[in-house]
Chain A
Amino acid sequence: MPDPILYLKAFVAVVFSSAIVLLAFWLVTRRHAWSLAASCVLAASVGLLIGYDVLLFSWTWPPANALNRFLMIVLPATVIVELLTAVCDAGFFSRSLVVVLRVTLYACAGRVLLHDSVYLAGVGGSSADSWTLLQSIATLSGGFGVLIAVWSLLCRLSQRSASPSIILSLAMAILCSGLATMMAGYIKGGVAAIPLVAALVGITLASPVLANRLSDHGKPHLQGTIGIGVMGLFSLLCIGHYFGQLSGPRAVVIFLAPLLCWTSELPVLSSKSPFQKSVVRLIAVTIPLAAVLFAAGRDFDQKMAPLLAGAMPCEKPLIQEPRPPANADLHSGRFLRVARSITVAFLNPARRRQGGVRPSEAMVRGRGCATGVNISNVVQQQPLLDEMLQKMSLRRVRHKPQCKLPPGHRFARPTSPRRSAWGRLFANVGSHICHLLFERS
């Protein structure tokens, strides 16, 4: 069962240990960009060790499952490659050797994570999920290509501006992957993201202070941390998707979200200050991640929450209605309606000011028994509500609606046709984006 106190302890322990170790390494090493990069990698690895130990992760050899292979093979190999890369910048190693090592690691990561699983058992294996040789090659090489593309693009961006916002974006993506994996039912797979996020946060907090004192100020020093973050994100998403129930489109959105940091390099924003650019990056990355979390939360409410609700007393239904048939079209339509009503509520300030449909109220309409109060029956009134919303946007409501609503729920007050048209436009665009992103998965 999830233990938030333990997670919080682990998070704080990793943040502090990463920051302190980074400062300690910094004191004993020379003040160059490469030594700071190496210190960041070492600090992250020490923080990760402490974090996984606090979270009571098992360290058994040989690693039996994907998570253990990530912790005992992929992550240490990544740390070694990143350390060698940092040291290579000082001229101790040939750069080509490090490049070969990195490419080998990235090519093997997917294969290592899927080792001995049903996917690689070959056709005729014990499961219908087994891939053919062609499927295996396509999937693993596709993963390799995306992994190396994301890493190289983020490194390229960090060379243009060594801003900690890139690391913070990666941390947000890893946190999102952990939460989405947990909400899909794989708790331990989600918890594994916590030390990674905390290590990146710790380095983000400490490294800018040190970077200002570099003798070669301005040189990139975050590439090692980016390497660990990208590999961690890739591995957690692989584990969540192939071994848990994290859907493919969501995993792809989360993995590609940090690339939106490149929006700060648009010509329109070229004159902005570094701080403003950092804010733009974080906002750009947050939007798709928030959408993924929203969809993951919706699925959690539908699938997992009833399991938990079964263990907890649920209040009596407020409105007695027959249960709707459980088919996908209905859920899909329901989601679109809820998305539309939320978007209308958010994007139509006049309606909010006048005390009409509030965002929280709109969200509440889409939630089920997991909220503690059984309001799922309210959703069954949704077609009627939608019809009324549509009518109200064109003319004033003269009659009170006939359907019964629980106390505190109000219908939207009429607004001017112009505002409603804008609201409807945004709502339709929003719902179509949501449909493209999530419903097709």
Chain B
Amino acid sequence: MRRILTTCLMSLAVTVTFSSSRLAVATDDYTYDLVHSSVSFKARHLDISWIHGRFNDVSGKFSLDRQDPTKSTFELTIKADSVDTANPARDEHLRQPDYFDTKQFPTIEFKSRHVKAIKDGYEVTGDFTMHGTTKEITFTLMGGKEIESRDVKRVGFSTDLKLKRSDFGFDKNAIGPIGDEAIIIIDCEGTRK
């Protein structure tokens, strides 16, 4: 009886081990490739044109489960003081508390909570934290096709997010000539060995 019980337990343990290792294999973990990615933004100026800028220091990781996309996760961390609008004086101004307040809120973060597969991409819902305020946002992430180049597996995604600065604790009175709505454009590649 004891032998039977031991055998059953061992077989159960082996099954659990194999199934978990199979799970681990099913998820591909990618690291954000800073060289081939960009997080840029644009906002209306005086409601007649667009000002463009980008964040130069971004990191992130995402794991893709091809068999069960709902188990995929996406994380992105942007260093707010890496803002670059091709004008150093304006960048300094944007780092101040009237805008990004980078000494108080050094990072802009996104962490996914739900992922759903759609045609040519994923619909991702998650927490977006900017300027100390966290809001749930949903966006469509296009891409996800993996290719191998020089022994490195790469996957690419792109998306556009429309955000209202006033929703994230930016002072409504300080919005001034720069529009409340900002469009964040993310084009990123992830790599894995």
Residues of A within 8 A of B (CB): 1, 3, 56, 58, 64-67, 116-119, 121, 125-127, 129, 185-189, 239, 242-245, 303-304, 306-307, 311
Contact = CB atoms under 8 A, between A and B. Distances in A.
A114 to B, nearest CB: 9
Contacts of B24: none
Contacts of A189: 97-98
B103 A129 contact: yes
Contacts of B93: 185, 304, 307
B53 to A, nearest CB: 14
Contact of B89 (A239, A242, A304): A304
Main secondary structure of the interface of B (DSSP, over half): loop
Contacts of A65: 97, 101, 104, 132
Given A66-B97, A188-B171, A126 B92 contact: no
A186 B94 CA distance: 10
A127 B105 CA distance: 10
A126 B106 contact: yes
A188 B103 contact: no
Contact of A188 (B79, B87, B98, B133): B98
Given A65-B132, A126-B79, A243 B103 contact: yes
B12 interface: no
A59 B24 CA distance: 48
B103 A119 contact: yes
Contacts of A126: 79, 106-107
Interface core residue of A125, A129, A243 (most chain B CB under 10 Å): A243
A205 to B, nearest CB: 29
12 contacts: A1-B176, A56-B173, A119-B103, A127-B102, A186-B97, A188-B174, A243-B97, A243-B103, A245-B96, A304-B89, A306-B89, A311-B46
A1 B177 contact: yes
A239 B101 CA distance: 11
Contacts, number: 74
A11 B145 CA distance: 61
A187 B169 CA distance: 16
Interface in B62-119: 79, 81, 87, 89-90, 92-93, 96-98, 101-104, 106-107
Contacts of B103: 117-119, 127, 129, 242-243
A307 B87 contact: yes
Contacts of B132: 64-65
Nearest to A129: B103
Interface string B163-176: 00000010101101
Contact of A186 (B81, B96, B102): B96
A117 B92 contact: no
Nearest to A115: B104
A244 B97 contact: yes
B171 A58 contact: yes
A66 B46 contact: no
Contacts of A307: 87, 89-90, 93
A189 B99 CA distance: 12
A243 B101 contact: yes
Contacts of A127: 79, 81, 102-103, 106
A188 B93 CA distance: 12
B111 to A, nearest CB: 15
Given A65-B97, A118-B102, A307-B90, 13 more contacts: A1-B176, A3-B173, A64-B169, A117-B103, A117-B104, A186-B96, A188-B97, A189-B98, A239-B97, A243-B96, A303-B92, A307-B87, A311-B46
Contacts of B92: 185, 245, 303
